[in-house]
Amino acid sequence: MFMLNQQELFRTKKNWEIKKFSVEHMFGPPVAKIEMPAELTKGLILVTDKVLERENYSSHGDQLAGQIYHEPTLSLEMLDVVGAAHFFHSCATHYLNNVLGKKIRNLESDYVLQAFFTSIWAVSQREGEYNPAHHHTDCDISSVCYLKIPNYKERWGQDRRFKGESGDGDIEFIAKSVDNGLENGTYRHSPRVGDFFLFPSSLIHTVYPFLGQGERRSIAFNMGYQLRHKESGRVRLGRSDGVYQNPETGLAESFPHVKEMEGKS
């Protein structure tokens, strides 16, 4: 039975304090909202500074929907320098336990849960750049954490009815279009430095452009997971046995999704 364990790669296992962690249902799908430690945020800024300073960094942009020029690929090794790989992995596992624990009886006693990174990249967004509505494929969990938020230039029409609600630089999650007053179909958030979100990879989201000379920088990563029965080793939820670990990057690759087993939960 193959078991992927990326945690063996993490050398920096500093126990960062998760000051605020909540799984919210503000509009539909469960979204984890986390406040990153300030020291970790500063460390990730330095890590991404070094990558963005290179003229020949590996770009992740050709795999993304975003109309953004600078989207360098990051590695587990880069995150591990400041202990971010271990922190992100711990948060994702906490998120999965919270969500799956509400639907599966005896989760911790009967099952083994593993989460694994599949891709990691940085986003250095500048004036006029944006991310159209999209979702992420070949993974189960997506994320974004914010490192830099610039001061936005005011748009024309600030005397209009919705003054101050332009949405510039915001991220918006889209569950559905209908809003009959009893529920929200979308959730829009104005990021602050240190904000960190985990959400289902199928959740459609978009990032609005902004005016101004500053940089809006974030890190995003995708993850998959496996939920195996301890006795049988059978995968109940998540990715099948097609998972393997790329020896060069440490990332999980080439894995199909499996349907939930029939029977009681």
Q: What is the pLDDT of residues 16-34, one digit of tens each?
A: 777 778 887 767 789 999 9
Task: Say if residue 71's pLDDT is above 60.
Answer: yes
Q: Are 13 and 252 in contact (CB under 8 A)?
A: no
**What pLDDT, on the 0 to 100 scale, is given for residue 228?**
86
**What pLDDT, on the 0 to 100 scale, is given for residue 119?**
92
Long-range contacts of 234-240 (CB under 8 A, 24+ apart): 234/261, 236/104, 236/111, 236/260, 236/261, 237/100, 237/104, 238/140, 239/140
**What pLDDT, on the 0 to 100 scale, is given for residue 185?**
83
Exposed/middle/buried for 87, CB within 10 Å: 0-12, 13-18, 19+? Answer: buried
Q: Mean pLDDT across the stretch 237-244?
A: 67
**What pLDDT, on the 0 to 100 scale, is given for residue 138?**
86
Task: Give the separation between CA 256 and CA 188, rounded to whole angstroms.
Answer: 31
Task: Say if residue 160's pLDDT is above 80.
Answer: no
Exposed/middle/buried for 132, CB within 10 Å: 0-12, 13-18, 19+? Answer: exposed
How far CA 65 is from CA of 8, 174, 194, 206, 217, in Å, comes to: 32, 16, 24, 10, 17
Which of 24-38, 122-136, 153-167 has the least mean pLDDT?
153-167
State the residue for tokens 């509400």: 102
**What pLDDT, on the 0 to 100 scale, is given for residue 40?**
96
Top-ranked range on mean pLDDT: pick from 91-105, 154-168, 174-188: 91-105
User: Residue 190: which of 174, 162, 168 has the closest Cα?
Assistant: 168
What distance, in Å, lies between the first and last C-alpha atoms of the chain?
23
Tokens read off for 207? 């990032």
Task: Give the separation between CA 17 and CA 38, rounded to whole angstroms.
Answer: 10
Ordered by where they begin, the domains of the chain are 19-258 (2.60.120.620)
Q: Are 189 and 203 in contact (CB under 8 A)?
A: no
Task: Say if residue 254's pLDDT is above 80.
Answer: no
**In the chain, count of helices (H) and strands (E)?**
4, 14
**What pLDDT, on the 0 to 100 scale, is given for residue 73?**
92
Task: Say if residue 81's pLDDT is above 70.
Answer: yes
Task: Say if residue 102's pLDDT is above 80.
Answer: yes
**What pLDDT, on the 0 to 100 scale, is given for residue 161?**
60
State the residue for tokens 């670990």: 245
**What pLDDT, on the 0 to 100 scale, is given for residue 7?**
66
